[in-house]
Amino acid sequence: MDLLTTVEAADYLRLGERKLYELVAKNRIPCSKVTGKWLFPRNELDRWVLSGLAHPDGMIPPEPPPIVGGSQDDLLEWSLRQAGSGLASLTEGTAGGVARLLRGEVAAAAIHFHNDAADPNVEAARAMPRLHDAVLIGFTRREQGLLLPPGNPRSLNSLADVLESGAKIAMRQVGAGAQMLLDVLVARAGANQRRLNRLEPPCLTGPDLAAAIRTGRADCGIATRAAARAAGLEFVSLAWENFDLLMRQRTYFQPSIQALIRLMAQDSFAQRAAELTGYDTGPAGQVRFFH
């Protein structure tokens, strides 16, 4: 261990000795007293300086925390555990995950954009000026649709039925992929958002939305077939979507991400997807976009 004396530490930090002693007295700098002399580990001084480093807007930390943000997905959460990746999940919806990725607060974001683009996820990755080193990895294609109570008591078989009947629909938060899908479908139907009989407040995940329907607080809502099956609900298919992992190039090569990608190639991944239902694992592990 490289230990500096008071004089050496003051010179190393470009501080006066008096200021250094003030920091020591206030217990605000790493140091140790040995036989009456203050000693300062050089590596701890380096960490102390970096801990107070100010990051201007647009600058990201060198290594993001081992977290996958973005959309909630049962198969993804199982995969993070099964792969032994060491990655945690923080589910706030597609837009929330991307915002955290841009700030360097997550290693990757699970996304499923919906708009009129041919491939909304790829177009979103290409259009992010602050993500000049983007990599988009295919995870699965997922089936999204209407979740309904057992037996479908209101005979809701389409979004048009929901609009015409005034059925109470559970919503997702702004920026969630399922909410983007609902917005697109309402627009394509030539309807006004104000016609929707909304359940408030919005549900933050697909399982939350399923719980709202199961407990009778809502008549329907949009989520995945897997969420419907897990909650014992009826399901009417509306769309298949790309469900991808967006990250920076350097993150792609990290052992945690590589462990997850290796799992995607195993039979156990496809088997688990089949058990959960509503997944097509064909795109799993494919590099769908590389900036």
Measured distance CA(224)–CA(272) in Å, rounded: 15
* In the chain, % of residues over pLDDT 70: 96
Q: 97 lies in a domain?
A: yes
Q: 57 lies in a domain?
A: no
- The model's pTM: 0.80
**Residue 43's CATH number:** 3.90.105
Tell me: do 210 and 229 sit in the same domain. yes
- Give the residue with greater pLDDT, 192 vs 109: 109
Place of tokens 């993070």: 80
Banded pLDDT at 287 (limits 50, 70, 90): very high
Tell me: do 273 and 257 sit in the same domain. yes
Tell me: do 180 and 248 sit in the same domain. no
Banded pLDDT at 193 (limits 50, 70, 90): confident
Measured distance CA(80)–CA(108) in Å, rounded: 12
Task: Give Cβ neighbours of residue 47 (< 8 Å, ≥ 6 apart).
Answer: 30
Q: 56 lies in a domain?
A: no
Residue 152 sits at φ, ψ, to 5 deg, of: 45, 65
- Residue 81, pLDDT > 90, answer yes
Residue 1 confidence (pLDDT): 64
Q: 62 lies in a domain?
A: no
Q: How many domains does the chain have?
A: 3
Residue 22 confidence (pLDDT): 93
Domain that holds residue 33: 3-51
Measured distance CA(18)–CA(59) in Å, rounded: 34
Q: 7 lies in a domain?
A: yes
Tell me: do 157 and 131 sit in the same domain. no
Provide Rg for the chain, Cα atoms: 25
* C-beta of residue 208 within 8 angstroms of C-beta of residue 178: no
Mean pLDDT score of the chain, rounded to an integer? 93
Q: What average pLDDT does this structure show over 189-210?
A: 94
pLDDT digit string, tens, across residues 7-60? 999 999 999 999 999 999 988 899 998 888 999 998 888 878 876 666 566 655
Place of tokens 């909630």: 72
Residue 18 DSSP class: H
Tell me: do 133 and 150 sit in the same domain. no
Tell me: do 174 and 206 sit in the same domain. yes
Tell me: do 39 and 86 sit in the same domain. no
Q: 98 lies in a domain?
A: yes
- Residue 108, pLDDT > 70, answer yes
* 96: its two tokens: 């929330």
Residue 56 confidence (pLDDT): 65
| Domain final residue, candidates 222, 240, 258 | 240
Tell me: do 45 and 173 sit in the same domain. no
Tell me: do 157 and 278 sit in the same domain. no
pLDDT digit string, tens, across residues 113-163? 999 999 999 999 999 878 888 999 999 999 999 999 999 999 999 999 999
Q: 204 lies in a domain?
A: yes
Tell me: do 131 and 253 sit in the same domain. yes
Residue 1 DSSP class: -
Tell me: do 104 and 24 sit in the same domain. no
Tell me: do 148 and 211 sit in the same domain. yes
Q: 171 lies in a domain?
A: yes
